[in-house]
Every structure is written in C-alpha cells, then in structure tokens.
Amino acid sequence: MRSVGIKVLNSRLSEYVRLAESGETILVTDRDRVVAELGPLQESRSPILADAFLADSVRSGLMRPPALAASGPPPAPPPVARLEELLAGLDESRRDR
C-alpha cells in the first residue's frame, strides 16, 4: 500500500492508475489526511463501463433487474391502426379541403 498527496497524484496520475491496475492500493492524502483510495478493480465489477453503471444502479436500488430473462428480440408492438383505416382517414380529411 502506498500513499500519495493530491498534487503528486495530479502530476503523475497515469503511473498511479497503472499501479492500481496491477493490484496495489494507493491512499490519496490532502494535508496528511486520507481523503480517497485508489485500488484495483473489484472482481465482481465488469470491466465494461456501461455494465458497471448498470450493476451499480441495481445494487443501489435505482433499478431492478427483469424478473425473467428474455429470449430473443422483444415482441413487436401491435399496430395502432390498419393501413386501410389510415388511408380512409387520410382520404376523408382531404375531402374537406
């Protein structure tokens, strides 16, 4: 475990991110007080950003996962009206002009 001040972290961020990626934990300090922790990715966290955000939303209760896993594409919504009805309505509205 290492510690680093905010100024040094700011100037050498890439180096400390690589250390965290390799498994090391870095304590970030501000005036000798620990204010944050930079560490390796949790094993349960997805390396894909969108998946990680979704998982955090589910864990925090903002979202709920589906009750049943879907198989295949979602069903197509039913049509609002049949084509013949739409064309008849269009013809009727044009007669008023």
Pairing of strands 33-38, 26-30: antiparallel
pLDDT over 90 at 6, yes or no: yes
pLDDT confidence of residue 72: 82
Asked, for residue 12, whether it belongs to a domain, the answer is yes
| pLDDT at position 35 | 96
Sequence-separated (6 or more) residues with CB below 8 Å from residue 40: 20, 21, 22, 23, 24, 25
Average pLDDT over residues 25-52: 89
CB 61 within 8 A of CB 70: no
Residue 56's nearest CA partner among 40, 66, 39, 44 is 44
Q: Give the percent of the chain with pLDDT over 70.
A: 100
Residue 64 in domain: no
In a domain, 23, yes or no: yes
List the domain range (segments joined by +) for residue 48.
2-59
- Counting the structural domains of the chain, the total is 1
The answer to whether 28 and 38 are in contact (CB under 8 A) is: yes
pTM: 0.55
Q: 42 to each of 7, 18, 26, 38, 97, how far by Cα in Å?
A: 26, 15, 15, 11, 67
CATH number, domain of 34, equals 3.40.1620.10
